[in-house]
Amino acid sequence: MAKSLRERMLANCQKPRKTDTVNAGELLDGETVTVVQWTSGQRDQFDKLLSKERLKESEALKNKEEYKATASLRAVAVRVSVVDPETLEQVFTDEDLPLLENANQTDMNRIYQAAISLNPLIDIDAAAKN
């Protein structure tokens, strides 16, 4: 008997995700890191971390206070995307974001580009127009 739509879809949720190996440059003395295609939950994690940062920025502007970013787009993408190559478990935590924020931009950008290649970010406003 043919499997139901539910069974087929849930079975596909267990398929291995795509990964990419990226030279981390000076961050790891030329060693590599593994970035992974996000799960749906990891995409939500990415969105929540960025939303939290934008809310802090908005509150600071509203209160006419100085604002110092603790989590840039690149830092958040690296935080969510870099994984242990064996387990695919994330290696960074939210507490690491300020340190990632201060990392060499050339190396961070290389890792970020690989992460975004596996996890494209779309402009929601542009998508809504289409």
Q: Tell me, what's the pLDDT at 94?
A: 94
Domain assignment present for 10: no
pLDDT of residue 75: 94
User: pTM score, two decimals?
Assistant: 0.82
Q: What is the pLDDT along the chain (130 residues), one digit of tens a residue?
A: 788 999 999 988 888 899 999 999 999 999 999 999 999 999 999 999 999 888 887 887 788 877 676 678 999 999 999 999 999 999 999 999 999 999 999 999 999 999 999 999 876 555 556 5
Q: Three-state SS for 77? A: helix
- Per-residue model confidence (pLDDT) at position 126: 57
pLDDT of residue 127: 57
Residue 73 included in any domain: yes
48: CATH: 3.30.2220
**Total of domains in the chain:** 1
Burial 36-56 (b: 16+ CB within 10 A, else e): bbbeeebeebbeebbeebeee
The amino acid occupying position 84 is D
124, part of any domain: no
Q: How many residues does the chain have?
A: 130
pLDDT tens per residue across span 14-30: 888 999 999 999 999 99
pLDDT at 61: 78
Residue 5 lies in a domain: no
Domain range for 82 is 19-118
Q: What six digits make up the tokens of 87? A: 């387990």
